[in-house]
């Protein structure tokens, strides 16, 4: 009985861990061309603000919803990842057509919503 309880608890913990993560089979990483067409030279929103990565100049601006802003530089890598001043942004398309990005500094996925 005790070993069954332990196995049941382990199974519940494993399933809870699985449901809290997004499987890579549920998203598709965007190509460099797709990132450029969707997120470069176009405003897009993250969870708390707006990003704008300028085409050609390698400059970007982030403005949060309170009005604070940050300016920096970026590089679009050959694998479609944007390398910013302090983090890397990897963009994915979800099965429903929406976008998310992986923010390497925080280690989290966030929604990415093109504006306009």
pLDDT tens per residue, the chain (116 residues)? 444 433 333 332 332 332 234 556 699 999 999 999 999 999 999 999 999 999 987 999 999 999 999 999 999 999 999 999 889 999 999 999 999 999 999 999 999 999 97
Q: What is the structure's pLDDT at 49?
A: 96
User: How many whole angstroms separate alpha carbon 50 and alpha carbon 63?
Assistant: 5
Assigned domain for 84 exists: yes
> How far is the C-alpha of 35 from the C-alpha of 75, rounded, in Å?
12
- Distance CA(111)–CA(116), nearest Å, equals 16
Asked whether the beta carbons of 67 and 74 are under 8 A apart, the reply is no
Residue 18 resides in a domain: no
Confirm if 47 and 110 have CB atoms less than 8 A apart. Answer: yes
Domain count, the chain: 1
Short-list 70, 84, 72, 81, CA closest to 36: 81
Pull the structure tokens for residue 55.
Answer: 């085409």
- On whether residue 7 sits in a domain, the answer given is no
Full domain range(s) for residue 107: 24-114
What pLDDT, on a 0 to 100 scale, did the predictor assign at position 67?
93
Predicted local distance difference test score (pLDDT) of residue 24: 61
**Residue 99 domain-assigned?**
yes
pLDDT of residue 23: 57
């Amino acid at each position: 009985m005790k070993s069954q309880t332990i196995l049941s608890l382990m199974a519940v913990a494993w399933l809870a861990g699985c449901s809290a993560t997004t499987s890579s089979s549920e998203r598709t990483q965007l190509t460099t061309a797709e990132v450029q067409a969707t997120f470069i030279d176009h405003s897009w929103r993250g969870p708390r603000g707006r990003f704008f990565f300028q085409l050609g100049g390698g400059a970007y601006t982030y403005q949060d919803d309170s009005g604070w802003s940050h300016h920096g530089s970026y590089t679009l890598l050959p694998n479609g990842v944007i390398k910013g001043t302090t983090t890397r942004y990897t963009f994915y398309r979800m099965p429903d057509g929406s976008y998310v990005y992986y923010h390497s500094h925080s280690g989290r996925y966030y929604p990415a919503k093109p504006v306009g």
